[in-house]
Amino acid sequence: MLQPPKLALKGRNILVGISGGIAAYKIPQLVRLLKASGANVRVITTEMALRFVTAETLSVVSENPVLTPFFDPEAKTWNNHVDLGLWADAMLIAPCGANTLSKLVNGQCDNLLLTAFLSARCPVWIAPAMDLDMFQNPAVQQNLKAFQNNGGHTIEPEEGPLASGLVGKGRMAEPETLAAVLIDHFCPSDSPWVGKTVLVTAGPTHEAIDPVRFIGNRSSGLMGIELAEHLARCGAQVHLVLGPTHLQASSWVETHRVESALDMLEACQHLQASCDMIIMAAAVADYRPETASKQKIKKSEASLELQLIPNPDILSQLSHQRSKDQCIVGFALETENAEAYGQAKLHKKKLDAIVINQAGPETGFGHSTNKVILLHANGQRMESPLMNKSQLAPLLIDTLAEWFYA
């Protein structure tokens, strides 16, 4: 079986909620496992949970303050549950006792944990933990069903000796199991991208005219960023070489910021050998000023001539230098005859596949939507409808996986 990468949760924000139950004493171990996988962890507890585990231990292992009441009596401020709910990429409530479960299902919010839960936009898991008969009680079972019907996920308790002395189903799943569920969510073990390293380029390049002016283009980098983020969600190790744009990728994508085409070439060449696939979504300037003035060029009445020279063709160079098993996917943006030009580029540059987009009112540079044709060098073809770039990225990545890693 494929193992998830060592830092499978790198950069992921995990909100751990602890309710009052004996199994709370195991949560510091869970937090350590999540931290060891690279996650950022914040912990919220109910008042009752602090009877079973200390805030001090949890704050040491999570490397963050532990939040319990609505108000911080020392700082005389409130603990912002909305920010926490938005911060989290995943929330796990463990142990989740019968009382907290009932409140989650009924939308109660008389403590910080419940309020953060109601504010969370991310997927939420609960790890129920209670005594044998409590767990089997029809009210609890109904609440579990209702929680799942509301879109929540349950990590089933295990069978075994319980704190009461009884033996049966009700023990909270072990911290290793809980951590594995989150790792599998972000990094599914059956994903073809687990164990793969992918280089994605995105954004424009800026070619300096002088210290304050440049030649650029209208690319925002959004398509490449969406591709990089989706690949990371599928378990790939992702390097994003990103040209100058105000957009940025999440922290689980390793971003290498560059300015010009020459910088981008250097960064890509440095990373190329370690990559299984290279997806070149950046809009690299074809030309650059032959010389960039060291000082700001002064305005004058005379016309100004700029001598432009061709930039290196990064896609061709990487394609030429690639290893036998490395896959190279190019992008083409055309304003006319898009498919014919794209097809010619695919063969001329000896690419494995090409994504062809036609610049239009809702497609290409600077738009949140796009419509593309993906061509494989062997003739396979996929055409997308007009869709959000965030939805198009999974479609492209799934098709590439089917073509090259099935």
97 near ligand FMN, judged by CB under 6 A: yes
Here the tokens at position 149 are: 């019907």
154 is an interface residue for ligand FMN by CB under 6 A: no
Query: Inter-axis angle of helices 222-233 and 389-404, to 10 degrees?
Result: 60
8, 10, 14, 19: which one binds ligand FMN (CB under 6 A)? 19
By beta-carbon proximity to ligand FMN, the closer residue of 135 and 331 is: 135
Using only the alpha carbons of the chain, give its radius of gyration. 26
Closest CA to 16 of 176, 135, 172, 179: 179
Nearer to ligand FMN, 86 or 132 (CB): 132
| Contacting range for ligand FMN; rule: CB under 6 A; set: 42-50, 84-92, 263-271, 347-355 | 42-50
User: Which of residues 162 and 318 has its CB atom nearest to ligand FMN in the complex?
Assistant: 162
Nearest-CA neighbor of 64 among 2, 127, 15?
15
DSSP state of 2: P
Q: Which residues pair with 72 in a beta bridge?
A: 77
Q: Which of 13, 37, 40, 46 binds ligand FMN (CB under 6 A)?
A: 46
**Cβ-based nearer residue to ligand FMN, 68 or 119:** 68
User: Site for ligand FMN (CB under 6 A): how many residues?
Assistant: 15
Contacts of 268 (CB under 8 A, 6+ apart): 199, 201, 241, 278, 314, 318
Structure tokens at 262: 């020459």
Q: Of 19-27, 58-66, 77-85, 182-190, which segment contacts ligand FMN by CB under 6 A?
A: 19-27
Token pair belonging to 394? 């999974």
Residue 99 is a binding residue for ligand FMN (CB under 6 A): yes
Could you say whether residue 22 binds ligand FMN (CB under 6 A)? Answer: yes
- List the beta bridge partners of residue 199: 239, 278
Binding ligand FMN (rule: CB under 6 A), the pick from 9, 30, 41, 49 is 49
20 near ligand FMN, rule: CB under 6 A: yes
Q: Which is nearer to ligand FMN, 58 or 318 (CB)?
A: 58
Choices 41-49, 78-86, 246-254, 355-363; region in contact with ligand FMN by CB under 6 A: 41-49
Cβ proximity of 121 and 155 under 8 Å:
no
Among 80, 99, 137, 217, which one carries the catalytic annotation? Answer: 217
Q: What CA–CA distance (Å, rounded) separates 72 from 68?
A: 9
User: Does residue 31 belong to the site contacting ligand FMN (CB under 6 A)?
Assistant: no
By CB under 6 A, residue 129 contacts ligand FMN: yes
Question: Which range of residues in 21-29, 118-126, 306-314, 334-342 is near ligand FMN by CB under 6 A?
Answer: 21-29
DSSP state of 259: -
Tell me the closest approach of the beta carbon of residue 46 to ligand FMN, in angstroms: 3
3-state secondary structure of 233: helix
CB 387 within 8 A of CB 226: no
Cα–Cα distance, 376 to 397 (Å, whole number): 13
Helix (H, G, I), strand (E, B) or coil at 93: strand
The verdict on 17 binding ligand FMN (CB under 6 A) reads no
Residue identified by tokens 């190019």 is 330
137 binds ligand FMN (CB under 6 A): no
Minimum CB–partner distance for residue 125 and ligand FMN (Å): 16
DSSP string, 126-142: EEE---HHHHHSHHHHH
> Can residue 67 be called a binding residue for ligand FMN (CB under 6 A)?
no
Cβ-based nearer residue to ligand FMN, 86 or 146? 146
Which one of 39, 67, 130, 194 is in contact with ligand FMN (CB under 6 A)? 130
Number of residue whose CB is nearest ligand FMN: 97
Cis ω for the linkage preceding 161 (within 30 of 0):
no
* 217 carries an active-site annotation: yes
| Interacting span for ligand FMN (CB under 6 A) from 93-101, 116-124, 268-276, 283-291 | 93-101
Give Cβ neighbours of residue 12 (< 8 Å, ≥ 6 apart). Answer: 38, 39, 40, 89, 90, 182, 186, 252
- Active site members: 217
Residues forming contacts to ligand FMN in the complex (CB under 6 A) are 19-23, 46, 48-49, 97-100, 129-130, 134
